[in-house]
Amino acid sequence: MWGGRFSEGPDALFRAINDSIGVDWRLVRQDIAGSVAWARAIGKAGVLSVGEVKELTAALGALSDEVEGMAPPVDSGAEDVHSWVEQRLTERVGDLGRKLHTGRSRNDQVATDLRLWTKEALEERLGELHVLRAALVELGAREAGTPLCGYTHLQRAQAVTFGHWALAYERMLARDAGRLRDALARTDECPLGSGALAGTGWDVDRAALAQDLGFARPTANSLDSVSDRDFVLESINALTLVGVHLSRLAEDLIFYASGEAAFVALGESMTSGSSLMPQKQNPDALELLRAKAARLIGLQAGFAATVKGLPLAYNKDLQEDKAALFEAMDVASLSVRAAGVVVSGVRVNEAAAKAAAEGGYTNATDLADEMVAAGVPFRTAHERVGALVRVAIEKGVKLDELTPEDLSEHAPELDAGVLGRLGVQASLARRVALGGSSPDRVMKAAAAARAELDAELEQTS
Ligand code: ARG
């Protein structure tokens, strides 16, 4: 490919560090598509005759049949997928194959191939996220009225519903989907026709070329085009945030499924047993979701570090973009799909979840609100309920088990009837404001999320 200037062949270790075909073979379809479009573009620019364009595109068509399901040809001698395609093409059509690279560089070629690949991959991730979000919405609707203890600082805080919890994660993933769509929009530019760095020397209609390859537009600056990997980093960043959210979901469920909480039982098919302890059911898939998020963070940091010191324009460091991006896509895909199965298999243990939601004086704020309704300033109410909580702790009872005498001593404004309004359902029912955890509100939130998911499907179809 560049032998003219050299008198010696490459060292075996040079090949070992330099060859990328084992990794970038995933781009073979995109490389063939890019080559077809390039043949047409330089045909229009007068480099190839109409007949030559026809012959090249036919041969590339046959090549795309040949590579279907093919393992990476690591012993072909080609260093990367781009050289392999050209080499194989030349074997098929002879010298004509040697004309295809006119005005093109592997620098604009690889940037184009990878953007084509990334667009498809991001669409697939969006589809997988959609399925997971739908599972969370179903769980949210099913458990809209099921009490769950809500925590801050991992201390019992206020009752929420299990449905509200599920929909919280759906919102995180909805934002992640938005970030993936943003990344997709910025990926949707065609670098082909930028040459090695300075722009192609032939009169190529880059707008037509971009359109031919299904891009929204051509890139604007040739130096930037061949060295920009923002789209890789931005995609990994968005996937990392998906991983971070799934890790938090996993952490919650691991705790909820613990013997201490026992708020949920996990589906058996996504858990494992112990080789020694016969009674165990371990949440391995969830633990691995946590660990996979760490891998994504590593890929993100690693690739950002790869790019940060690079002078313009192309440098071979950039070849490592694919290993990082492919792994990030694979890890995120597996994580999202596995999380969907776990979520669908969650069964709530209502009694335990409700008992925890009722414990820890989670209704203290409600009692303060009752005092406020009777005219007491909130700060005063807060202090008095604090005193009532102390009394209850000393007596070892719940707030609603206090005596009318306890109540009149600390909160004379309240009638004893308030003690009957301190149950968990009453606490939940109060939280009707937008975004709150009342069962009614959670049902509405589930319906809104479902409508959003439907609308997103409509936009993509
Ligand atoms: N395999 C290379 C990559 O993935 C293709 C570009 C090579 N360009 C070059 N100037 N050596 O980045």
**What domains can you pick out in the chain, each with its CATH number?**
10-102 (1.10.275.10), 116-197+220-355 (1.20.200.10), 364-422 (1.10.40.30)
DSSP 386-403: HHHHHHHHHHT--GGGS-
Q: With a 6 A CB cut-off, is 306 part of the ligand 1 pocket?
A: no
Which of these, 21, 196, 4, lies nearest to 107 by C-alpha position? 196
CA dihedral 181, 183, 187, 188 (to 10 degrees): 20
Q: How far is CA 207 from CA 36, 193, 216, 326, in A?
A: 16, 10, 9, 28
Give CA–CA dist 159/173, Å, rounded. 23
Band of residue 3 on the pLDDT scale cut at 50, 70, 90: confident
Instruction: Please identify, by atom number, the ligand 1 atom nearest to the C-alpha of residue 106.
Output: 6
Can you tell me the mean pLDDT for 36-51? 98
CB 176 within 8 A of CB 182: no
Residue-level pLDDT at 154: 96
pLDDT beyond 90 at 83: yes
Residue-level pLDDT at 35: 98
Band of residue 62 on the pLDDT scale cut at 50, 70, 90: very high
Residues 6+ apart with CB under 8 A from 194: 105, 107, 108, 111, 200, 219, 222, 225, 226
Can you tell me the mean pLDDT for 383-399? 95
Q: How far is CA 81 from CA 19, 25, 84, 262, 438, in A?
A: 10, 5, 5, 52, 56
Residue-level pLDDT at 4: 83
DSSP 16-72: HHH--HHHHGGGHHHHHHHHHHHHHHHHHTTSS-HHHHHHHHHHHHHHHHHTTTPPP
CA of 260 to the centre of ligand 1 (A): 55
Which of 75-89, 109-123, 287-301, 403-417 bottoms out in mean pLDDT, i.e. has the lowest?
403-417
CB 103 within 8 A of CB 47: yes
CA of 241 to the centre of ligand 1 (A): 29
pTM of the model: 0.96
Residue-level pLDDT at 225: 98
CB 300 within 8 A of CB 233: yes
Residue-level pLDDT at 65: 98
Give CA–CA dist 86/92, Å, rounded. 10
Q: With a 6 A CB cut-off, is 109 part of the ligand 1 pocket?
A: no
**Tokens 């490459």 map to which residue?**
10
Point out the residues that are catalytic.
153, 274
What average pLDDT does the chain have?
Answer: 96
State percent of the chain over pLDDT 90: 94
pLDDT beyond 80 at 255: yes
Q: With a 6 A CB cut-off, is 107 part of the ligand 1 pocket?
A: yes
> Collapsing DSSP states into helix, strand and coil, what is residue 233?
helix
Give CA–CA dist 276/263, Å, rounded. 25
Band of residue 419 on the pLDDT scale cut at 50, 70, 90: confident
